[in-house]
Amino acid sequence: MQLDIPTVVCAASVVFAAQAVAVFVQYKVDKASPGLGWWLAGAVLQALGFLFMLALLSPALSVLAMFANPLVFLGQVSLSVGIAEFLGLDGGRRRRLYAPPAALCLAAYYYFVFARNSTLGRAVVIFGSTAAAALATACLLVRGRRRRFSSSAGFTALVFLLFGCLQAALALANLLLPPLESYGDIGSSPIRTAAFIAPIVGSILWTFGFIVMVNQRLNAENLEEKEKLRLVFEIGPEAMLIARLRDGLLADANEGFLEMTGHARRDAIGAPILELGIWARAEDALAFLAELRGSGGRIDKREGRFLRKDGSPFLGAVSGRVLSIDDEEHVVVAIDDITERKRAEEAIRHMATHDELTDLPSLRLYRDRLSMAMSLSRRSRSSAAAMFLDLDGFKAVNDGYGHDAGDAVLREVARRLRSALRETDTVARGGGDEFLLAIADLRRPEDAADMARKLLAALSPPVIYGGASLSIGASIGIAIFPRDGEEVDRLIKLADEAMYEVKSSGKNGYGFAGGRAAGP
């Protein structure tokens, strides 16, 4: 049985078209893999090349046949560029390297088409150029193969090596054999039969090698990504857990979770989250899971209260993501213990609003408290008082006993003033030996005088320091809201002026703004 050109070329066209389809499917699955676009282009060019060979059967279409072999050759070059990009061997640089030889090959081929019509010349140029491209591809695969797809790269390199050697042998055979007169029957020459059969067999084998290489690489990359995720999951500083969204069953937990909560892995894995009592309140856990279902599967840094196995509480910032595992929705939860951070933040806020020595509110916070006292009094149709208190005799304590004694006196004064006030009232330190008080909800303005006398009585006992009895007094100025004003700064100013009036008239007493009733 003899092989004729229509049969072989039709078979080759079908095979290369199937190759193009297979590479296209792989390209759609993983467009991100470098080189796949060039492989697809190579497969399409080779399929078109063999399809154009069929034009030899029709005199009207025979002009298309002159493009057949160049298309097959360009397809081989595209495969080589794709391999370089897939292996990370600077495919852009190789495109520039391949361009001049490819252009030279095409120029030589068409020289033997138009200038000197020679079947032998065309055959030698195409076989020799295709051999060079195939052998270059084999070298690339050997040089750049990676451990993750070493076996498939070695197999594909062997295919290209054998194909390249065969193409080189065919180029040499065409030089040695009698010139080919007709393509009508190729079965009488085994070597020329191989020229048509080799690309068919080679394309099947290298397409298989390509697809295996891509999938081995994808599988290896997926395993690496999973290992990275597992590593992040395990060594992350946050407590992390994975639970089934449907029923809250704990599927996995990292060491951070076990250390933070005190649960043992054997007891935690497989148990419902609610039974572990991680959330301080079960309704918070239910609300968190419900919100995840209705928020697009994402919650970030939601603060909440949590419990360790021993019942000790801690503050946490919890984040959650919904993902599918084995076709079932799960939730990944990360809990960051922010207890110390919150304590530090609270300490910083406290330092910003309180006096370091006495731990009394600062003048800034006092303004807010006085404003609140005024608002409360406005709603209850009562009065409020701003008091400005300055110690009498404090300079003598500092000069005679030192600043340590002065600091001890200030701390004791702060303690006595706090003890004398109601919970709704505020005492603040204004600086030096000055204190400010905000008194809320006074039924009568005159009630402020009662409070002033109570404060003076609280300060009258001497302060004992280092065996010494330190006596001090106080001068207090009082401004009444709303009688004397309805602005914070104005009330403070009037109380300050009233205090200086008391100082100038004998000290150790109190007085109202505007010279109203005062007392010893």
pLDDT tens figures, 328-362: 888 889 999 999 999 998 888 888 889 999 999 99
The token duo for 210 is 């390509």
**pLDDT on residue 501:** 94
Stretch(es) of the chain classified as CATH 3.30.70.270: 354-515
Stretch(es) of the chain classified as CATH 1.20.1070: 5-229
Express each pLDDT in 70-82 by its tens digit. 888 898 888 888 8
Band of the pLDDT at 479, cuts 50, 70, 90?
Answer: very high
**What is the mean predicted confidence (pLDDT) over 244-248?**
83
Band of the pLDDT at 151, cuts 50, 70, 90?
Answer: confident
**pLDDT on residue 97:** 77
pLDDT beyond 50 at 520 = no
Q: How far is CA 204 from CA 125, 128, 235, 322, in A?
A: 24, 21, 46, 43
The token duo for 206 is 């290298």
**pLDDT on residue 1:** 44
Closest CA to 483 of 491, 492, 473, 493: 491
Claim: this prediction has a pTM higher than 0.75: no
Residue predicted with more confidence, 416 or 163 = 416
**Helix residue ranges, H only, 145-182:** 150-176
Band of the pLDDT at 519, cuts 50, 70, 90?
Answer: very low
**Helix residue ranges, H only, 145-281:** 150-176, 190-235, 255-261, 265-268, 273-276
**Helix residue ranges, H only, 305-402:** 339-353, 363-379, 394-401
Average pLDDT across the chain, whole number: 85
Express each pLDDT in 396-428 by its tens digit. 999 899 999 999 999 999 999 999 999 889 999
CATH of domain 354-515: 3.30.70.270
Say whether the peptide bond before residue 199 is cis (omega within 30 degrees of 0).
no
What is the spatial distance between Cα 476 and Cα 518, in angstroms, rounded to a whole number?
10
Architecture of the 236-338 domain: 2-Layer Sandwich (3.30)
Band of the pLDDT at 110, cuts 50, 70, 90?
Answer: confident
Contacts of 115 (CB under 8 A, 6+ apart): none
What is the spatial distance between Cα 310 and Cα 337, in angstroms, rounded to a whole number?
16
The lowest-confidence range among 260-269, 358-367, 370-379 is 260-269
What is the spatial distance between Cα 279 and Cα 306, in angstroms, rounded to a whole number?
4
**What is the mean predicted confidence (pLDDT) over 436-445?**
92
Express each pLDDT in 250-267 by its tens digit. 889 888 888 889 999 888
Express each pLDDT in 181-232 by its tens digit. 554 444 456 666 666 677 778 778 878 888 888 888 778 777 777 777 677 6
Stretch(es) of the chain classified as CATH 3.30.450.20: 236-338
β-strand pairing of 463-465 with 468-470? antiparallel
pLDDT beyond 60 at 2 = no
Contacts of 100 (CB under 8 A, 6+ apart): none
Decide yes or no: CATH 1.10.3470 for domain 5-229. no
pLDDT beyond 50 at 518 = no
Residue predicted with more confidence, 389 or 123 = 389
